[in-house]
């Protein structure tokens, strides 16, 4: 019985990476997640993705319709949320305890998220003081997979003259995070929209008395609370 449960819960690193990628892509577009989307996100070829999707479907982790993409089953969602939980808890640990910068944590968390030990996850959560958000402002699922509500207004959605507090980022690539650091934009940063160019939707934003120009691409990837 115990063995049975272990088998049910054991997935390979690769399978877990796919589950997480599907989870993230699922939030961006509705309907099935495409083979090419996964292929791009995971930097593997489409043929490899197709193969893995068939395997995941066999394990009842996804519903897979040939040519029409995949969606996580409840079981798949549950495990994806565990991986996300672990990823974000470790990121928090790296920044809070080990002097990592927020743009250095991703690669290591990508490995640590696969460490298998229920006790480890729960104790780490406790040790860190049950944080709600990771260093990028992303919500950390609790033991049951429940997400605290995420800050979900984008900076690009603010009107001229509105103010907001930076609560998170969508793109967490190293280059974007380094760009943000250079502009001195971080979690908790206060900002005010001074102007919006109508032709390219770029903004001029007031941060700490400095006027910072930001492209639509940038403002789309910054979450704010107003």
Partner DNA sequence: ATAAATTATTAGGTTTACCTAAATTTTTAT
Partner DNA sequence: ATAAAAATTTAGGTAAACCTAATAATTTAT
Please, what is the minimum distance in Å from the beta carbon of residue 22 to DNA? Answer: 13
The two three-digit tokens of residue 134, written as one number: 């990771």
Q: Please give the backbone phi and psi of residue 60, each rounded to the nearest 5 degrees, phi first.
A: 60, 30
Question: Would you say 103 or 138 has its CB closer to Mn ion?
Answer: 138
Please, what is the minimum distance in Å from the beta carbon of residue 2 to Mn ion? Answer: 23
Site for Mn ion in 80-99 (CB under 5 A): 91
Site for DNA in 66-125 (CB under 7 A): 66-69
Site for Mn ion in 114-173 (CB under 5 A): 134, 136, 138
Q: CA nearest 153: which of 162, 140, 144, 143?
A: 162
The two three-digit tokens of residue 110, written as one number: 């990508």
CA distance 181 to 136: 12
Question: Would you say 12 or 178 has its CB closer to DNA?
Answer: 12
The two three-digit tokens of residue 96, written as one number: 């809070």
Partner from its own copies, Mn ion, DNA, none contacting 107, C-beta within 5 to 8 A by type: its own copies
Number of C-alpha atoms within 13 angstroms, CB side, residue 211? 6
Over the window 25 to 54, marking each residue x when it contacts DNA by CB under 7 A and - when it does not, the resulting string is ---------xxxx-x---xxxxxxxxxxxx
Residue 171 Cα to chain centre, angstroms: 8
Summarize as ranges the residues that interact with Mn ion (CB under 5 A).
17, 91, 110, 134, 136, 138
């Amino acid at each position: 019985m115990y063995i049975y449960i272990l088998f049910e819960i054991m997935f390979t690193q690769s399978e877990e990476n796919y589950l997480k990628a599907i989870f993230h892509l699922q939030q961006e577009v509705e309907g099935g997640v495409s083979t090419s989307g996964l292929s791009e996100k995971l930097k593997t070829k489409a043929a490899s993705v197709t193969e893995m999707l068939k395997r995941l479907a066999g394990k009842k982790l996804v519903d897979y319709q040939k040519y029409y993409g995949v969606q996580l089953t409840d079981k798949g969602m549950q495990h994806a949320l565990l991986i996300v939980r672990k990823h974000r808890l470790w990121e928090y640990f790296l920044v809070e305890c080990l002097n990592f910068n927020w743009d250095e944590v991703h690669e290591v968390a990508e490995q640590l998220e696969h460490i298998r030990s229920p006790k480890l996850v729960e104790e780490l959560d406790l040790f860190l003081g049950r944080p709600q958000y990771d260093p990028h402002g992303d919500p950390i699922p609790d033991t049951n997979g429940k997400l605290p509500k995420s800050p979900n207004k984008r900076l690009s959605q603010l009107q001229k003259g509105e103010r907001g507090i930076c609560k998170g980022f969508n793109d967490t690539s190293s280059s974007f995070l380094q760009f943000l650091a250079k502009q001195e934009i971080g979690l908790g940063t206060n900002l005010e929209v001074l102007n919006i160019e109508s032709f390219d939707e770029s903004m001029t934003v007031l941060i700490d008395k400095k006027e910072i120009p930001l492209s639509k691409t940038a403002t789309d990837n910054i979450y704010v609370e107003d």
